[in-house]
Amino acid sequence: MGQERGDRSVWRRAGLVIIATLSVSLLAGCSTAFLDGDDSATPSPEAAATPTSVSLLRIVTPTPVTPGVTPTGPASPGATQNPETYIVAEGDSLYAIALQFDVELDALIQVNGLSDPNDIQVGQELKIPPRAQ
Whole-number Å distance between alpha carbons of 24 and 55: 45
Q: b/e string for 64-90 if b means 16 or more Cβ within 10 A? A: eebeebebeeebeeeeeebeeebebee
Checking phi first, is residue 91 left (phi over 0); if not, alpha (psi -120 to 50) or beta?
Answer: left
Q: Which amino acid is at 111?
A: V
Among the residues of 38-123, which ranges form H helices? 94-101, 105-111
Predicted TM-score (pTM) of this structure: 0.40
Q: pLDDT tier at 110 (50, 70, 90 boundaries)?
A: very high
Domain ranges, ordered by start, for the chain: 2-35, 64-71+80-133
Query: Which fold is adopted by the domain 64-71+80-133?
Result: Membrane-bound Lytic Murein Transglycosylase D; Chain A (3.10.350)
CA distances from residue 111 to 105, 106, 107, 114 in whole angstroms, order as listed? 10, 9, 6, 8
Range of lowest pLDDT (3-7, 41-45, 90-94, 127-131):
41-45
Q: What is the pLDDT of residues 36-83, one digit of tens each?
A: 555 555 656 666 666 666 666 666 666 666 666 655 555 444 456 778
Cα 47 to chain centroid, rounded: 36
